[in-house]
Amino acid sequence: MRSSISQGAPLFGALALAASLCFACASKSPGEKLLDAAQPAASWIATLRMTGERWNANSVPASFVRATVDKARDELAGVAEEAKKSPVPAEVKLPLQRLMTEARAAGAGLERAVKAGDRPAVARQVDRLAALAGELAAWQAGQEGRAP
């Protein structure tokens, strides 16, 4: 009996750890949840930026830019929707919603510029995305400071 308990101990330990971590995850505040949701948005803005840069360097085709922009816009819309539904105060979520709207617009601008073969316009959208990435990072830093 003793040996079967000791053999099962690592597994039970692991399950107990998983349960406690699940509980910790489930008990996150709305602000922390929104902060988590914003992380993929930062990643997609960075992806759009790199895609534009690589198109300007002739490293990726226009069809790839179009597909990446489509995917990014869906993901950014998802984050905006999550922000809209979040119970956090308006002064916290409205800046995030605005950033998502602007990032989607920058993605659309990037797609149009690539379609037109307009390299300076692509560079401008890349700069715009870089600025939005900075604003999002500032918003995230502000929320991290606010989190309990």
Partner 1 sequence: MNMKKAATLALGILTSVGGFFDVGAIATSAQAGALFRYQLLWALALGTILVVFLVEMSGRFAAVTRQALPDAIRQQFGFTSWLVPFAVLTLIHFLTLGAEIGGICFALHLLTGLRVSFWALPVAALVWLFLWRSTFSAIENSTALLGLITLAFVVAAWRYHPPMGQVLAGLLPSLPHHEPARYWYIAVGLLGAVISPYLFYFYSSGAVEDEWDESYVGVNRGVAAIGMGFGSVISVGAIVVAAVVLAPRGIQVDDYHQAALMLTQVFPFWGFALFAVSMGIACLGAAVELSLAMAYTQAQTFGWNWGEDLDPREDARFCLTYTVAILAAALLILFGVDPLKLTLLSMAINAAVLPFVALPFLLLMNDRKLLGKHANGWISNSVTILTLVVAIVLAAVSIPLMFLGG
Minimum Å gap between C-beta 79 and partner 1 is 12
- Residue 42 or 113: the one with the smaller Cβ distance to partner 1 is 42
Interface stretch with partner 1, choices 61-69, 80-88, 100-108, 111-119 (CB under 8 A): 61-69
What does the alpha-carbon distance between residue 100 and residue 118 come to, in Å, rounded to a whole number?
24
Q: How far is CA 17 from the centre of its chain?
A: 28
Does 14 engage in binding with partner 1 (CB under 8 A)? yes
Does 39 engage in binding with partner 1 (CB under 8 A)? yes
Look at residues 111, 100, 103 and name the one whose alpha carbon lies nearest to residue 65.
Answer: 111
Q: Which residues contact 114 (CB under 8 A, 6 or more apart)?
A: 52, 55, 62, 65, 66, 122
Select the residue interacting with partner 1 from 31, 35, 38, 68 (CB under 8 A).
Answer: 68
Select the residue interacting with partner 1 from 30, 37, 66, 119 (CB under 8 A).
Answer: 66
